[in-house]
A and B are shown apart, each in its own frame.
Chain A
Amino acid sequence: MDPRRPPRTVPDPKVRHVGFFAPGADAPPPPDRSNSAPPDPLSSSPPAAAHLTPPGTSISPVMIPPPRHSAAPLSPRRRDSFIVGSYSGKRFLDVGSPTASTASATDDWALPTSADSAWVGDTVGAGASSLPPVGSAAMIAKGLASSVPATAGLTAVSNVHRSAGVSGKPSGAASKVQGDKPKQSKPLKEKTTKAERRALQEAQRAAKAAAKGVGGKASVHMSEVVLASDVESVEVPKAHFQRNDIAAVNEKKVIDRQLEKDRKKDVPQPRMQYDDKSRVEKAKKRAVLKQTEARNRVELFRHLPQYERGTLLPDLQSRFFQLDPVHPAISKVGFQYLSGDISGSNARCIAMLQAIREAIIDYSVPPGKALVRDLTSKIGSYVSFLIECRPLSISMGNAIRYLKNRIAKLPLTLSESEAKATVVADIDRFIHDKIILADKMIVKHAVTKIRDGDVLLTYGSSSVVEMILLHAHELGKQFRVVVVDSRPKLEGQLLLRKLVGKGLSCTYTHINAISYIMHEVSRVFLGASSVLSNGTVYSRVGTACVAMVAHTFHVPVMVCCETYKFHERVQLDSICSNELGDPDVICKVRGRDEINFLDGWTNGNNLQLLNLIYDATPSDYVSMIITDYGMVPPTSVPVIVREYRKEQLWI
């Protein structure tokens, strides 16, 4: 139906040859690997090269290298049968490169092989040669081939063929070295130097990369190298051959690193697990703020940060002027997070973005640094400061990801001021498009679901739900609102105040009465901190309870959430990722000092106080998610996430 679902082509049939075989006879036709390869720059190699590179069979783990070949001058036909399908671009290269054609046609095969062994001899004898990496690569390949042919990739296998071929043909200068080659290979492998180990790794990596079907490009590259490298005059074909080897290895290495990097980028960083001692220690060293860990940590939630409350703010304030790397706007926002002055994921996200915006306006590139890199790391440090103040919400994480993405994509030609202006404009656009406009769209959609005579229930205080209710009231719809609230935050009161102020008729109740009040409710509107890709709604603790009760009473539950808060993670419970609030607030009641039964008990070992901030509502209890893209069922969240990310890449 579209690009998002790649055609389910059957990948190359895996033909596994065991024992001896002549590939010319029964090898499958070389399939076009570029189809099945991931869409990387490599697959765009010229078709000719791709075609000339028989893949697949070369790395068959069970392939046994053919034994000795008696015929000394290998006729081209014989050579074909002898290659056993193992090939990167080498044969192609031999044939195609001008030097190879100038070399004696009968022996272009033998020459490189003897070269190989000669190099082995060199390395063994002298330890270092004029071209050490070349020698070691070849040698390592050999060592691999003889000891562990299964893991050896393309280069290794092809090397061993050559040497095998030559060893049956005692001629040329290198023959005496070849004689004891099999014996050497093992001890050699054991006393590898660092460089050699690296070469080994490279060879293995190269093998892997080749297995992924990137051989085509490598071979093209190699032939270029051949053309360019007529400098070495000692033994032209030999030098060429081995240089090609290295070139191939290097090329593949670079490619492979890029792939790895891309992969790393794709996978979101796992959250820090606070029960992992070594990582916590490391994080502590880096930390700007010193937080003392709570004494009685809740066992089930050890992986979440649990700090003593109340110590941080005074400490921070006293050290305000020493906190060097943090911009004042950022530290201000951080303190506001810490003290709870800003809460609600939209408000927090906007505050953070505006602080970063200010910081960027005041930012100047230090001499000798690139803006893109320095700014990214700067923002990284701001963010880690904010995390220490309060763990990031998912919406903030998404916003930061967007911002870093934008910075990384800045054209290098921009001057500093232009770049800054671009980034600032990006931030403004994000706030405007993804939050403010998105809210407007949500309100527009949600209002259509409010009918006259409805009783709407909401829980806590969600900015979007508030806008929806007020807008519906402005439209003159007749409805009643039930605001359900819960301790300790009692955020619903704020919402209630605004609604009553506008003249809506409201009922205020606490979450314990939810099963009573649900009888008369016709719609439930909930806000969300995030919606995860299995449709789970991650929201203020208590939301799941409200949604479940509503579901039991067959009352439709509508979750209002902007698309920028969607996350591709999947979460099944509220335990593995959550935030813990101050445990003290749940055992004390503001303004009622007589409730002091727990005074002095909180430090005992057999009492653990758990103040969860969020919970996860399974998608079964959600009838509809209202986003800026419209009203979607919870099953369609992955589609939105996918489309949204695509769009973000295109902005």
Chain B
Amino acid sequence: MKEQTTRAMWWRSPSFILDNRQQQPNDTARGDALSIPLSSPLPPSTTMADPNPNPNPNPLTDKISAYYQTRAAHHGVVSSDWLAQAQAAVGHLPEADDDASNNDQGAPSGKPFSVIDEFNNWRKQPDLAEAVAAIRALAAVIRNSQATTMMELEIELKKASDSLKSWDTTSISLTAGCDLFMRYVTRTSALEYEDFNSAKTRLIERAEKFGEISYKARKIIAMLSQDFIFDGCTILVHGFSRVVLEVLKTAAQSKKLFRVFCTEGRPDRTGLRLSNELAKLDVPVKLLIDSAVAYSMDEVDMVFVGADGVVESGGIINMMGTYQIALVAHSMNKPVYVAAESYKFARLYPLDQKDMGPALRPIEFGVPIPSKVEVETSARDYTPPQYLTLLFTDLGVLTPSVVSDELIQLYL
């Protein structure tokens, strides 16, 4: 029964719509190359001793949400102003130094295998989502494990997952991905096998499968959402989401005619980046400043957004501004579609905007801000489910209420 429930979430995954000819061979090859072979066995406790080897060499930006650091690094939008703001944001946070000290001991070399290293290796690929990197890293943990009993392996895996989660507590998809991985991989009848090795093989199989599904998720979503993009439509997008880009790219490649409105996506101007990408695809794009959403909403046929996390109520947590776009769209009866991979389904249930761990992000205003003026640096907001029309996930096209159904099935 346990297996059934755990399997439930992905067994209907419409991955069949992808012809999985291309990725698989590359993937596994890459996976093998990257997984560092274990030379001397270390007890897991020491391996996981320091959960926070922070990848970012700049201590100033430490307390900024690591998630947004990664994004910023990928998007190449780090500026001096950005760093200055980062410093200001760090200033009044209490445990800044504690993290810095962590950082010092964070890079002891010659360590045989660390899930964080593995994770960082994976994370270097800009195309690979953080959660997928984490999932791959966890799979590598199983592969390289020296454990001889199931219990040991499970504990090791748990530790690895915890250290990954604590690496960046602000990233919802990272936490959710790790949780889902643990749930999916370990809650299987394989744990009752007599033979440890076969059980381990089974676990690795499941882990690989999970990684595969997660990796393909974006393509699946792109395929699924094609039915919703019709010729001549105008799509409003907010921020830069790799899934949404994939969706639009696929639509453009299948010769659909549509127009895209990109919001600017302050403060890190992610919308600009998206508009660049779309321009390369010869899709007609118009840039809006974030405050022009309501002004142009009557021209829009649908709103497409990505998500940092999908929460249990079916609502989403996404880049700041999503909520107000959803509100405007709702009041004008425009559909709001969310493209989100299933590894972003998180066991969170925010009741209102302040009811979640804040992810802070510096904002550049171009002019110096007087010290007495407070700046709202929160990077994301929560959009309640009643303002969302549909969620495009790799599990299929879902209404918001199904999210909690899936999560209940998985975690019950």
Question: Does B286 touch A at the CB level, under 8 Å?
Answer: no
The residue on A at minimum CB distance from B396 is A1
Kindly state the separation between the CA atoms of A623 and B12 in the bound complex, as whole angstroms: 29
Decide if A636 touches B405 in the complex (CB within 8 Å).
yes
Contact of A1 among B9, B385, B401, B412 (CB under 8 A): B9
Please choose the segment from A124-132, A272-280, A624-632 that sits at the chain B interface, where 4 or more of its residues have CB less than 8 A away: A624-632
Q: Is the CB of A631 within 8 A of B312?
A: yes
Distance of A20 Cα from B405 Cα, bound (Å): 52
Contact check, B385 vs A633: say whether CB atoms are below 8 A apart: yes
Q: Which residue of B lies closest to A626 (CB)?
A: B349
Can you give 22 A-B contacts (C-beta < 8 A)? A1-B9, A1-B10, A1-B395, A2-B409, A3-B4, A451-B355, A523-B351, A554-B352, A623-B351, A624-B351, A629-B412, A630-B411, A632-B404, A633-B312, A633-B314, A635-B404, A636-B405, A639-B404, A639-B408, A643-B408, A643-B412, A650-B1
| Bound complex: CA A633 to CA B12 (Å) | 23
Per-residue interface assignment for chain A, residues 1 to 12, with 1 indicating a CB less than 8 Å from any chain B CB and 0 otherwise: 111110000000
In Å, the complex CA distance between A624 and B9 comes to 23
A643 contacts which chain B residues (CB < 8 A)? 408-409, 412
| CB pair B351 A556 closer than 8 Å | yes
Task: Give A558 to B9 CA distance when docked, in angstroms.
Answer: 27
Q: Say whether A636 contacts B12, CB under 8 Å.
A: no
Specify which of A3, A554, A636 is in contact with B401 (CB 8 Å cutoff).
A636
Is B273 interfacial (CB-CB < 8 Å)? no
Using Cβ atoms and an 8 Å threshold, which residues of chain A touch B238?
none
Which residues between 295 and 320 of chain B lie within 8 Å of chain A, taking CB atoms?
312-314
Closest to A558 in B: B351
Given A1-B9, A1-B11, decide whether A639 and B405 contact each other with a Cβ distance below 8 A: yes
**A645 part of interface (Cβ distance < 8 Å):** no
Give min CB distance, B60 to chain A, whole Å: 30
Given A1-B12, A2-B4; A636-B351 close (CB under 8 Å): no
Contacts of A554 in B (CB 8 A): 352
Query: B233 on the interface (CB 8 Å rule)?
Result: no
A449-B9 in contact given A633-B312, A636-B408 (Cβ < 8 Å): no
Residue numbers in A under 8 Å from B349 (CB-CB): 624, 631
Residues of B within 8 A of A4 (CB): 8, 409
Closest to A646 in B: B1
State how many angstroms separate the Cβ of A560 from the closest Cβ of chain B: 14
- Count how many chain A residues have C-beta atoms less than 8 Å from C-beta atoms of the other chain: 24
Binary CB contact string for chain B from 382 to 407 against chain A (1 if under 8 A, 0 otherwise): 00010000000001000001001110
- Which A residues are CB-close (under 8 A) to B5? 2
B7 proximal to A (CB < 8 A): yes
Nearest Cβ on chain A to B356's Cβ, whole angstroms: 11
Contact B404 A636 (CB under 8 A): yes
Residue B200 interfacial (CB < 8 Å): no
Q: Which residues of B contact A636 (CB under 8 A)?
A: 401, 404-405, 408
- Interface: A640 (CB within 8 A): yes
Residues of chain B within 8 A (CB-CB) of A523 are 351
Which of B9, B385, B401, B406 is packed against the most chain A CB atoms within 10 Å? Answer: B401
12 extra interface residue pairs, beta carbon distance < 8 Å, beyond A554-B352, A556-B352, A639-B405: A1-B10, A1-B406, A2-B4, A451-B355, A623-B351, A629-B411, A629-B412, A630-B411, A633-B314, A636-B401, A639-B404, A639-B409
Kindly report which residue of chain B lies nearest to residue A554, judged by CB atoms: B352
Scoring A3, A554, A639 by chain B CB atoms within 10 A of each residue's CB, the highest score goes to A639
Q: How large is the interface on B (under 10, 10 to 19, 20 to 34, 35 or more residues)?
A: 20 to 34
Min Cβ gap A518→B in Å is 15
When chains A and B are docked, how far (Å) is the Cα of A2 from the Cα of B312?
Answer: 19
A556 to B355, CA, bound (A): 11
Contact assessment for A2 and B412 in the assembled complex, using a CB-CB cutoff below 8 Å: no
Interface contact A640-B408, CB-CB below 8 Å: yes
**B355 to A, closest residue via Cβ:** A449
Expressed in whole angstroms, the minimum distance between the Cβ of A268 and any Cβ of chain B is: 23
**Contact flag A633-B401 (CB < 8 Å), given A1-B9, A1-B11:** yes
Given that A1-B11, A556-B352 are contacting pairs, would A633 and B409 also be in contact in the complex, using a CB cutoff of 8 Å? Answer: no
Which A residues are CB-close (under 8 A) to B8? 1-2, 4
Closest CB in chain A relative to B81 CB, distance in Å: 33
Complex contacts, B411 vs chain A, CB 8 Å: 629-630
List A600-634 residues whose CB lies under 8 Å from chain B. 623-624, 629-633
B334 interface hit (Cβ, 8 Å):
no
List 10 tightest A-B contacts by C-beta distance, closest first: A2-B8, A635-B401, A1-B12, A556-B351, A636-B404, A631-B349, A639-B405, A633-B313, A639-B408, A1-B8
Task: List residues of A (636-651) whose CB comes within 8 Å of B's CBs.
Answer: 636, 639-640, 643, 650
A624-B8 Cα distance, complex, nearest whole Å: 24
| Residue B347 at the chain A interface, CB threshold 8 Å | yes
- B10 contacts across to A, CB distance below 8 A: 1
Closest A residue to B385 using CB positions: A633
CB contacts (< 8 Å) of B395 on chain A: these are: 1
When chains A and B are docked, how far (Å) is the Cα of A3 from the Cα of B395? 15
Residue in chain B with minimal CB distance to A636? B404
Shortest CB distance B351–A (Å): 4
From B404, which residue of chain A is reached at the shortest CB distance?
Answer: A636
Identify the closest chain A residue to B10 (Cβ).
Answer: A1
Give Cα A630–Cα B179 distance, bound, in whole angstroms: 15
Nearest CB of chain A from residue B343's CB, rounded to whole Å: 16
Within 8 A of B (CB), among A1-46: 1-5
Closest to B354 in A: A451
Contacting A at CB under 8 A, from B1-43, are 1, 4-5, 7-12
